[in-house]
Structure 1
Amino acid sequence: MRGRDTYAGVWHDDGHRQLGLSRGGPIAVQAVERGFLTLVPATRGLAKEASLPDLKGRHGKRPCRAQLMHALIAGRTAVGERVWDIQRLLDWVLKRSDVDPSRVIMTGNSGGGVLTVHTAAIDDRITVAVPSCSFTSFTSETGYIFHCDCCLIPRVQSELGDFSDIGGLIAPRALLAVNGKKDTLHYFSDVEKAMAHVSKIYRATGDTHPFKHEWGEEGHQFYPEIMWPFIKKWTQK
């Protein structure tokens, strides 16, 4: 989909279209209406077009878990494959003459938000990252795992750190983390603690302004009314 201006936007959804998009979206259409060149990737293990069949229901009829199992036996991770896919899309879109490489935005809700954090953490071509209802610690203080298995990485806490440490790698680029007050998948106190850690990382760069954390009033969904003002601020020239 294409708008009028020379912006690039990689807009990612996690496959949970009824849960994540319909209440606060469609975000991609809103992006086009605002003049963004917009990509909506078909995500491995989540979009029907890019999923492995779960033959005989071995993985609970969950294509995302089927992708994870196939990735693991090949020595990869599901989220790693998805990050690779996004990077190849960036390779392609940034060759276009009508794309401004200084204004590349990525967002996603739920698993799409997890992918947004991982991609922006290792690829500085993402200039504005907006993870929605996804960015918190990997586990609660009592050990509860917040994210789906297809979003996890073996040995991540012992060798790389918390999810907030990974998200901190986005600094000093613009990062807006949005969570829902009624989102029962994530705990308020753990989200607040993780976001305080990210803020500390941004302070270490000398500028906290590019980082912002906001709470939406509802549940597990996009919050356009929070996202768009931040995106506008950090893409204006």
Structure 2
Amino acid sequence: MIHFDTNVYVRNMEAIVEREFDYRSVGAEGDWNEWQRRFRARLWEATGLAHIDRVNADVPLSPETVERLSFPGYVREKSYVQTEAGIRIPFYLLLPSNGQEPYPLVLAVHGHGRRGKEVYVGHFEDEQERQESLEGERDIALQAVAEGYAAIAMDVRGFWEMARADEVEAKKNNSCAELQKHAMMYGRTLIGERVHDMRRLIAYAGTRPEIDTSRIVITGNSGGGQVSLFTAALDERISVCVPGSFFSTFRGSLLEQSVWHCMCNFVPGMLRLGEMYDVAGLIAPRPLLCVNGERDAIFPIDSAREAIGHVQRIYAAMGAPDRCRLYVGHGGHRYYKEPVWPFVKTSLRLLD
């Protein structure tokens, strides 16, 4: 008896696939802005974002604030906005109690944690969740507001209030697989839908006089790193991007046979368009800090180092070699806040 050898299959595909937007095809005298424009347009189509945005262009935000609480140093509001007809995304908005308005905005995007946004604002279920979250430095919205920024922490589609009732009642971690199946049957993807949701939150932020939407930072861990990278690549309003524990190569992470990856990571035909470093090249010359752990088995550090070398060549070609960096934390799959806020502060000064 023989069995299907996935490694052989992937090697075969890798040998014959031609990535249409491989950055190396641009050449020394190429037009990088045109490469970005064409690649971004195709990625909008591949993720389904082009269709999602088009059919929802006239859907009102219909914001509803249901809670407003004061904490030492900041105010926290819980609100909902409509992202598609009949679909509302829940989020917390944290505003500093002091400082100079309007505040730069940090979109704090959670990863594959069952309770989504709650952890990022320090609303812990129990002591175990508190300890695990703080050890992994995942209270990112609290970190942002402590730095003097407005912060939005949302539930990403598939989690907590944005999960299906079936999975919540069964106490499953998420609804990613079911939502991805439905999305793909309609020519969409979960990542496209999640980027669309980020764009709706930016639209809402634009209605708040306390927020400066000309200075937007996006950061998150793991799955939140994925949403951060793709949102910054697809939406040029993002000023600074800091993906945590996600940056790698698709070949060295998502297609690595020894590690299971959630369905929500996959985009049909992605490797016929570009590798992860090509996607990251769409962010150039805006500041990009990739944060990875040296012992991360899910997104291996060797692949991250390989990928950052390619991205740095794109940034150098676009005249911004100092705006793209990789930070390696001395641990595993978690968030590393140490380099983040100094990088954000320095990067935002470029916009002054």
Counterpart-to-counterpart distance in 2, 1:91 and 1:142: 32
Which runs of no fewer than 5 residues in structure 1 stay unpaired? none
Deviates more, 1:213-222 or 1:140-149: 140-149
With structure 1 as the length reference, what TM-score do the two structures score?
0.90
**Matched residue, 1:204:** 317
**Could you say what secondary structure the match of 2:151 adopts?**
strand
Q: Counterpart in 1 of 2:47?
A: none
**99-108 or 209-218, which moves further after superposition?**
99-108
CA shift in 2, pair 1:34/1:143, >3 Å: closer
The residue aligned with 1:117 is 229
Report the 3-state secondary structure (helix = DSSP H, G, I; strand = E; otherwise coil) of the residue aligned with 2:322.
Answer: coil
- In structure 1, the partner of 2:108 is 11
Q: Which has the higher strand share?
A: 2
Partner residue, 1:155? 269
Structure 2 residue runs of 5 or longer lacking an equivalent are 1-93, 114-118, 120-128
Checking the alignment, whether the CA contact within 8 Å between 1:134 and 1:179 is kept in structure 2 is yes
1:95 to 207, 219, 231: 207
Aligned runs of 1:19-98 on 2, under 5 Å?
A: 21-22=133-134, 23-46=136-159, 48-54=160-166, 62-98=174-210
Identity %: 34
Shift of 1:61: 7.2
Tell me the TM-score normalized by structure 2: 0.62
Q: Is the 8 A contact 2:108 2:219 kept in 1?
A: yes
Are the counterparts in 2 of residues 21 and 222 from structure 1 also a CA contact under 8 Å?
no
Match of 1:130 among 235, 242, 248: 242
| 2:109–2:220 contact (8 Å) kept in structure 1 | yes
> Whose Rg is larger?
2
* 1:8 counterpart SS class: strand
State the AA in 2 paired with 1:105. Answer: V
Q: Which moved more, 1:17-26 or 1:129-138?
A: 17-26
How far 1:25 moved relative to its partner? 3.2
Task: State how many pairs are aligned.
Answer: 233
Higher relative contact order (CA 8 A, sep 6+): 1
- SS in structure 1 at match of 2:325: strand
1:183 is displaced (CA, Å) by 1.0
Task: Give runs of aligned pairs for residues 170-209 of structure 1, distance below 5 A.
Answer: 170-209=283-322
Secondary structure, counterpart of 1:7 in structure 2: strand
CA-CA distance at 1:134 after TM superposition: 0.2
1:212 to 1:95, Cα distance in 2 relative to 1, 3 A:
same
**Aligned partner letter, 2:111:** D
For 1:84 and 1:72, the matched residues in 2 are separated by 15
Return the alpha-carbon distance in structure 2 between the equivalents of residues 152 and 132 of structure 1: 18
Deviations 1:117-171 (A, max 9, x none): 100001111100000000111112995267432121000001x210110111000
Residue deviations 1:23-56 (CA, integer Å, cap 9, x gap): 213111111111111100111012x10012447x
Task: Say which SS state the counterpart of residue 38 (structure 1) adopts.
Answer: strand
User: Could you tell me whether the CA contact under 8 Å between 1:180 and 1:218 is conserved in 2?
Assistant: yes
